[in-house]
């Protein structure tokens, strides 16, 4: 049978664009449909604009700290509208780059919603139909907002990037990395931030020492963090939004931001009609090679709910190309993925938490907390945490956790060492760079427990 395309990609996020580009470079005729903007969640309303907001929010402390280093500064204020204008300009530039990547590699792309009509046919919202030998679904995910009375007055992490006005008072709901990041961002920009999380501690799934450390530091920086609290209702009143919690308390804020997780975007894609199997959260179920239960249909990225990280989607896209078009069956490697959380202070982590490691074998824990040199003259009572989990039997470093300035930059390189199977003694043999915070990773010589 002759098809219109060798490959049709649904979704132009980081994974979809990478797969489309590589397939085209390999000589395949590629079509792609994206219903929103090129670049996906990460570029348009995720990692990139969020990191720009993180940078913007950090200047409040930088200006304060400058006085301790001899700088005289005047009264500072934050211009939300000016920042948003600059941020939007950069996002537009990046979207253009993603679009040009497709065009320059001769990928035929459509600004349209795509629906599967059968295992080889897609129908676009512009009325066009195309056939393809292979179909790749890379539609990502979207924020989940619980069905709470008055939830229509709340926003998600999507809308926060386009707020026309900075809220004076904000309530952030959730305890995951997105909720904690936006609590810190808004707090740094001058918003009075309250955060509710219904669980026992924020950042569930992270190392417990890291969880407790970050929660304490966030409170120290001004975030009014409440554990064991959730929203019961939201109502619009003259002075803002009246929020009632599960404990019978009330609070009035200008904005309620829900950051209670993300779910795969598998709605209205025609998956059920084709018979593609989905999981409990709506995620597309795939095998180790990202193939669905339909032989010629694959899925990558957040829509599969494996690991919701942009670099993972890119790796999965590359593995898909190797498997389907280069006769080299390749399973994406999801082991030992370095991760960063851009809270303030930020977190960098790779490998096992102390709790997870203890369930597997006997371990040693090396941990140090200290005031970094950067804040001493500023008089800021801010601390850093460095932690390593080591196997007693093999001496391999099973986990590394950093909390503090530039933690993400440090953990990227620590991740290389762990991926290579570095032992504690390998770290010990490495000469320290003084004075740095990172030298703690190679000078901790006595287990704390």
Q: How many CA atoms lie within 13 A of 219 on its CB side?
A: 10
Nearest to 288 by CA among 277, 304, 274, 272: 304
Query: Using the 8-state DSSP alphabet, how is residue 440 labeled?
Result: H
Task: Please choose, from the candidates 424, 284, 283, the residue with its C-alpha nearest in 3D space to the C-alpha of residue 351.
Answer: 424
232 backbone dihedrals φ, ψ, rounded to 5°: -100, -40
Residues 449, 436: Cα–Cα separation, whole Å: 25
* Residue 98: strand, helix, or coil: helix
Contact between 319 and 329 under an 8 Å Cβ cutoff? The reply is no
Annotated catalytic residue, options 109, 142, 226, 434: 434
Task: Kindly give the pairing relationship between strand 297-299 and strand 262-264.
Answer: unpaired
The question of whether 434 is a catalytic residue gets the answer: yes
DSSP three-state, residue 327: coil
Q: What is the CA radius of gyration of the chain?
A: 24
Specify the pairing of strand 121-124 against strand 250-253.
unpaired
Q: State how beta strands 231-237 and 129-137 pair.
A: unpaired
Q: Which residues are catalytic?
A: 434
């Amino acid at each position: 049978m002759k098809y219109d395309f060798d490959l049709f990609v649904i979704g132009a996020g980081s994974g979809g664009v990478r797969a489309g580009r590589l397939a085209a470079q390999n000589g395949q005729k590629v079509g792609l449909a994206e219903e929103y903007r090129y670049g996906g969640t990460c570029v348009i309303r995720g990692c990139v604009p969020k990191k720009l907001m993180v940078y913007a929010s950090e200047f409040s402390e930088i200006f304060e700290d400058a006085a301790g280093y001899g700088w005289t500064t005047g009264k500072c204020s934050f211009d939300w509208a000016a920042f948003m204008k600059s941020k939007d300009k950069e996002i537009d530039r990046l979207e253009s780059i993603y679009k040009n990547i497709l065009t320059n590699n001769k990928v035929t792309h459509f600004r349209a919603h795509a629906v599967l009509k059968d295992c080889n046919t897609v129908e676009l919202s512009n009325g066009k139909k195309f056939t393809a030998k292979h179909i790749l679904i890379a539609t990502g995910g979207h924020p989940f907002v619980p069905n709470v009375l008055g939830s229509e007055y709340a926003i998600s992490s999507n809308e926060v990037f386009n707020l026309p006005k900075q809220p004076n008072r904000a309530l952030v709901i959730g305890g995951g990395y997105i909720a904690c990041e936006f609590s810190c961002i808004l707090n740094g920009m001058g918003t009075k931030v309250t955060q509710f999380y219904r669980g026992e501690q924020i950042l569930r799934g992270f190392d417990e020492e890291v969880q407790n450390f970050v929660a304490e530091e966030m409170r120290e920086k001004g975030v009014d963090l409440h554990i064991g609290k959730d929203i019961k209702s939201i109502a619009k009143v003259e002075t803002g939004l009246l929020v009632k919690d599960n404990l019978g308390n009330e609070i009035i804020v200008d904005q309620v931001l829900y950051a209670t997780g993300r779910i795969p975007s598998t709605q209205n894609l025609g998956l059920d009609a084709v018979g593609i199997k989905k999981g409990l959260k709506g995620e597309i179920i795939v095998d180790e090679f990202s193939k669905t239960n339909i032989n010629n249909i694959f899925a990558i990225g957040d829509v599969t709910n494996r690991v919701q990280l942009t670099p993972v989607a890119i790796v999965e896209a590359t593995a898909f190309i190797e498997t389907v078009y280069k006769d080299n069956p390749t399973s994406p490697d999801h082991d030992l993925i370095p991760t960063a959380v851009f809270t303030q202070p930020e977190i960098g982590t790779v490998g096992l938490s102390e709790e997870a490691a203890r369930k597997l074998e006997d371990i040693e824990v090396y941990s140090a907390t200290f005031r970094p040199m950067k804040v001493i003259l500023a008089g800021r009572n801010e601390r850093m945490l460095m932690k390593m989990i080591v196997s007693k039997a093999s001496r391999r470093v099973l986990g590394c956790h950093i909390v503090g300035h530039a933690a993400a930059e440090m953990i990227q390189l620590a991740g290389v060492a762990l991926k290579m199977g570095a032992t504690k003694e390998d770290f010990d043999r490495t000469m320290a760079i003084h004075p740095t915070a990172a030298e703690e990773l190679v000078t901790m010589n006595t287990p704390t427990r």
